[in-house]
Amino acid sequence: MVRHKNRYFVIKIRAVDSPKEAPLHLHPANVYGAITGAVQQLHGDFGVAATRSDLVAKYCNAATRIGIIRCRHGPHKLIASAMPYVKNIGPYKAYITTLFMGATMRHCFNFIRNYQQRKFEKYCINLKTDEEKAELKKMLLNMDPVLSIL
């Protein structure tokens, strides 16, 4: 039996028409459809056939707007080249920024944890009370949804 290598993309979804603080309620199927559409426009039927078999949106966090996408090694180059051309995700006008590409979910999890820790430290400068800091820490550093897919 042949082992298929995977690549995981950690992405940031940036919505144009909604405020930065408002959560984006996106289903992973919306992200999958948007990426597949961009691959179709850029690479045609060949690109869709190469990427569709193992392309999965594993995780989308509404509050932090971070997601994880899994795809096969090889066609991941087609997906990486098509992601900047995504203009709409579900009902939102949005675009995708690739934050990290890794070989395992564990590496992606470590990157997300470090990324969120840096964001938390950046936002804590403006907060005055410990309750506000605790609430922000709970929102940003809650990794239960990510741990459930590991």
Question: Tens digit of pLDDT for each residue in 48-72?
Answer: 999 988 899 888 887 788 889 999 9
Residues 6+ apart with CB under 8 A from 24: 13, 15, 18, 62, 65, 92, 94
- Tell me, yes or no, if the pTM score tops 0.75: yes
Class of domain 6-149: alpha beta
Q: What is the mean pLDDT of the chain?
A: 85
Q: How confident is the model at residue 146 (pLDDT cuts 50, 70, 90)?
A: low
